[in-house]
Structures are given as structure tokens and as C-alpha cells.
Amino acid sequence: MIGDQSGREHYDYLIVGAGFAGSVLAERLASQHDAKVLLIDRRPHIGGNAYDEPNEAGILYHKYGPHIFHTNSDQVVDYLSQFTEWRPYEHRVRAVVRDRLVPIPINRTTLNELFDLDLKTDEDAAAYLASRAEPVADIQTSEDVVVNAVGRELYELFFQGYTRKQWGLDPSELDKSVTSRIPTRTNTDDRYFTDSFQAMPAEGYTRMFERMLDHPNIEVRTGVDFREVRDSVDYGHLIFTGPIDEYFDHRFGKLPYRSLTFDHQTLEQERFQDTGTVNYPAPDVPYTRISEYKHLTGQQAPVTTITYEYPSAEGDPYYPIPRAENQELFKRYEALGDETEGVTFVGRLATYRYYNMDQIVGQALATFRRMDGKREPHNAD
């Protein structure tokens, strides 16, 4: 081991956060650059928000809510496939609207079931939606996107209540990118995603992370906050995947992140609901959705585990909140980050981007390519 004068071990990289961003970079730097990496996480486990584990009943569940892997990137699939086999899985979601359980994204079936219609073709559905849509000339907000596509009634039934709960904001106060995640369809495709690759890691996310980090150059310490080690660990370069405003002690003010409380329940029944997730857009229901893991994992068992998601302002930061004023504040932190020598910010919290897992893997791989061959000078004591 290389040590400094005080005998401390030297790491080429200290990586903060063992989620996708931190773990992909740890793996790449260790295996491709032969770099010595110390990877820390303040949680008692690796995997970040994608962490899964078997509960007391033996059901594999996701501690931070349901994570469904989907991507159009061959590069990301090829990369992750080094560490896992896959179980094909296409996610389907229903929404409880007017006491009916109908497909979301809104598709032809949704319209037929909700309004007792008999739309037979894509053209029928397109014409029906066109008759309800309220065109918005300049689409800016998450309200504009939906009202423009399906009109106000469907907007209120499916999006307004859900969004107000999820974000604590009206869709009119959120960037259009938020509800743009959910398409409107005129066919009967009821899959939540249409990406070319949709599958779950066969033995779960945590197992995949374990394989990724199983390298002699990587030391993992969980239950350790950056603050505890920032002055005592000898490292060359820092990769930070936590909230960027926290790194800079909130000097420009707090960046808003939305949180959730998860209520995990194990029920003495084989199945709870017919699809992986059921959404509850009604304003008088306090949770946004219920997910049942056995659909995602294919696990067979006489009992089942479900998770209710209750949005909240307080708690772990899960979602950056996409709106102009937050982006402006983030830009100030980003500029500060760019000026700060020896630190790279990557990941959903550090780059304040509402990214899915595959996008974070792509971001981390791109960050690695930019680091290619570059060895930072070691920090002085």
C-alpha cells in the first residue's frame, strides 16, 4: 500500500455515494485505470436508491420504491450486462379514476373504459382526443403539455391531483419535462415504457452492484458521511454524487429536492393487484401509487410485498424539482463546481437532473471517458 508521511493509505479517488453514478465510476476507474478507489456512502448499504434486499418474509423489495430498468442505450445495456443476467419485464400501470382501474399512459382502452366509448382504431382515438384537446401555442409547463394533448378533464383526472401530491406544486408551476415523461397513445399499448430494452437484473440490483464493486482496487465503506472523512482520507481526486448544494454548505441557499416516505407492507396473500403499479391521482388519497414487487421480480411466494409512496417535503432528497428558478440556483452551484479544482460532480443529485437509472449510467460512463488517462495530482496534507 502506498501511504503518505503519516502512514495513511493513499487513494487515487474518493467517491462519495455508492449509487449508480458512484459505483459505475468506481468500477471503471479501478478496472480501466488501475486506480485505487475509496467508495463511501452514508447509508448502511451500496446501490443508492436502487438498493433492494429480501425482507423478513423473503420477498425481494426495493427499499426506496419500485425501480424498473428500461433504456434505449445499447452501450448502457452492454456495460451493465457484465455484472448481471436479466429477467425480461415490461411494466404496466393502471390508475384509479372514477372508481375504475384504467391504463396510464392514457391510451385507446383508457378512453373507451372511462367514457364508455367504442373507439376502434388509432384514427378514432386521435380524432376523439383532438376534439377534447385545448391547443397551447407555447408549451412551457407541465399543465400545458397535458391540456394541449388531452384537454382539461383528462388532465384533471389523471395529472393535476397526482402532480400536486407528488411535487407539492401545481403542474402549471413545473417545467414541461415532468409530465412529458408520460406520453398519450391512440393505440392500445398499455406498457408504461416503450424502450427497446426493458428488464430487471435477474438477482436484483444489489447483487449487480456487489459484482460491479468486487475489485481489489475498490474499498467500500458504508455508513460513512463525507464530512467524517473529508479531512482524514488522503486522496487525489474527489467524485461527489450527493446533493451539490450540500457540498457547498448551501452557500447560495438550499436547492429544493422532493422526498417520499415509503410504507412497505407484507400481506398474507399471493397477489395484491393485477399490475406492478397502480396510481392514485385523486387528491383525497394521500399516497401517489402502490407497487407490488412480485410482478417486477417474478418471485413466487404465498405472501406478497407492496409499497405505498407518500410524497413529502422533508426527508432524504429523491427528486430534483424541475422548474426555472431551481435551475437558475443550480446553475450557480454548477459554476462554483466547475471552478473547484479536484472535484467532479456526477449523478442525479449532484447535477440536479431528473434522470432515470440508465441516464445516470450513461452520464457516469461519459464522465469516465472525459477522465480518460487523466491522473489528478494528489492532495497535499
Among residues 38 and 129, whose Cβ is nearest to ligand FAD?
38
CB 296 within 8 A of CB 65: no
Residue nearest to ligand FAD (CB): 48
Q: 57-76 mask for ligand FAD (x: CB under 6 A)?
A: -------xxxxx--------
Which H or E run contains 220? Answer: strand 218-222
> Under the criterion CB under 6 A, does residue 21 sit at the interface with ligand FAD?
yes
Q: Backbone phi, then psi, for 61, in 5-degree steps?
A: -130, 165
Q: Which does 155 bind (CB under 5 to 8 A by kind): ligand UDP, ligand FAD, none?
A: none
Cα separation, 311 vs 133, in Å, equals 29
Question: What is the number of H-type helices and E-type strands within the chain?
Answer: 13, 17
> Under the criterion CB under 6 A, does residue 49 sit at the interface with ligand FAD?
yes
Q: Which does 159 bind (CB under 5 to 8 A by kind): ligand FAD, ligand UDP, none?
A: ligand UDP
> Under the criterion CB under 6 A, does residue 87 sit at the interface with ligand FAD?
no
3-state DSSP assignment of residue 240? strand
Cα separation, 338 vs 155, in Å, equals 40
Beta 277-279 vs 197-201: how paired, if at all? Answer: unpaired
Q: Where do contacts with ligand UDP occur on this chain (CB under 6 A)?
A: 95, 104, 158-159, 162-163, 166, 178-179, 181-182, 279, 281
> Under the criterion CB under 6 A, does residue 40 sit at the interface with ligand FAD?
yes
In the bound complex, what is the minimum distance in angstroms from residue 163's beta carbon to ligand UDP?
A: 4
Q: Which does 163 bind (CB under 5 to 8 A by kind): ligand FAD, ligand UDP, none?
A: ligand UDP
Cα separation, 312 vs 252, in Å, equals 23
CB 340 within 8 A of CB 244: no
- Note the residues at the interface with ligand FAD (CB under 6 A): 16-22, 40-43, 48-50, 64-68, 225-226, 241-242, 260, 318, 347-349, 355-358, 360
